[in-house]
Copies of this chain bind each other. A is one copy, B any other.
Amino acid sequence: MLDPVSWKSSGGRIFRSYTPALAGQGGRLRLIDQTLLPEQLQYIELADTEAIFDAIRRLAVRGAPAIGCAAALGLAAVVRPVKFNNSAELLAFAEKTAARLADSRPTAVNLSWALDRSLREIRNNITASPAELQNILLKTALDILAEDIQMCRSIGLHGKPLLRDGMGILTHCNAGALATGDYGTALAPVYVAHETGLKIKVYSDETRPLLQGSRLTAWELNRAGVEVVTICDNMVAQVMKEGKIDLVIVGADRIAANGDAANKIGTYGVAVLAQYHHIPFYVAAPYSTFDLNLADGSGIPIEQRRADEIATGFGRRTAPESVTFYNPAFDVTPHELITGIITEKGLIRPPFAPQIAKIFSQAAV
């Protein structure tokens, strides 16, 4: 699937007419600068620690799985051109680089997970030469990307049976190709259904304050030829009432042991509205999103972001300077509002707590 020499992914089915959103190329991390979408499609190539740190921090690349891939590819890109006298020196340099990159978005679990995995591979092969370790680091990053692409595809296949021809699907924020190595999580079933010829109409909440729904989700679905209608977040209840929505699918940033799921702010409200209108509400996320250390969602920290994201988000000031803003970046949807969780291994149905416990005890064996 992946060619380590050119660092080119042969995936990118959604973007088959051009380069994937995220790839390694020419020894550098190559990615779409998502802050410029939808006005400009611009790729940036990075091989410098501070530039990669900055790209993650300012959301040039975002989405938990994509951040993990970018960090691993970025670490390999930074280490690759450096001359080391010995492997211990390489390890020390890689550790320092990884620590800095991990600081860019402290809350994203995939970020530290991917960096830890890369460092572990160095330590496990510390007797190898620096040149061999540089190749191992690269192979590990490409493995992470390849697994992510495979994970997306599997979520798509497991979610696809939920979709029928002519359905209207509502999604919130962006859990699509731009948030992952390739296929997305919430959007993966839509892409698979689209590829098999089903006519699906996606309603995309614009997702204030950063508009990932209109800037990113609408953009990528549009490019892939999937019909997409963008609405403001406050129109969800109305489109549901009008019978336009048959199914809701969203992503997740963290899922507790009882199925409570943290995701982009607004998701919880959508779930309440879906229940009121008797519309099934699905969460799509890989196993790596589950945090079994948390019994329920009350332990998931809610990141507060800056007021100016709301007040001056797009150039013009939209409220007086003296006004206070409240800007939680995530919310938690309680498991009782969730119809099912679509994972890369299949669909998890309620009761979630025993189902999740069973799956992960089997996975550990």
State which of B39, B238, B323 has its C-beta within 8 Å of the C-beta of A228: B323
Binds B, one of A68-76, A88-96, A187-195, A311-319: A311-319
The distance from the CB of A359 to the nearest CB of chain B, in whole angstroms, is 28
**Contact A310–B38 (Cβ < 8 Å):** no
Q: How many residues of A contact B (CB 8 A)?
A: 56
Least CB separation from A266: chain B residue: B234
| Given known A215-B318, A316-B314, contact A230–B265 (CB-CB < 8 A) | no
B residues in contact with A327, CB < 8 Å: 231-232, 235
B residues in contact with A227, CB < 8 Å: 324
Check: A354 CB closer than 8 A to any chain B CB.
no
The distance from the CB of A245 to the nearest CB of chain B, in whole angstroms, is 12
**Contact B269–A320 (Cβ < 8 Å):** no
| Given known A234-B265, A266-B234, contact A239–B319 (CB-CB < 8 A) | no
| Given known A206-B310, A323-B214, A324-B229, contact A39–B239 (CB-CB < 8 A) | no
| Given known A319-B219, A320-B219, A323-B222, contact A235–B328 (CB-CB < 8 A) | yes
- Some 9 contacts from A to B, beta carbons below 8 A apart, are A38-B317, A207-B234, A209-B232, A211-B319, A214-B318, A230-B326, A234-B270, A235-B326, A272-B273
Q: 8 closest Cβ contacts across the A-B interface?
A: A234-B266, A314-B314, A237-B269, A233-B234, A208-B232, A214-B319, A315-B315, A218-B323
A: residues with CB less than 8 A from B are 38-39, 172, 203, 205-209, 211, 214-215, 218-219, 222, 227-239, 241, 265-266, 268-270, 272-273, 276, 302, 310-311, 313-320, 322-328, 331
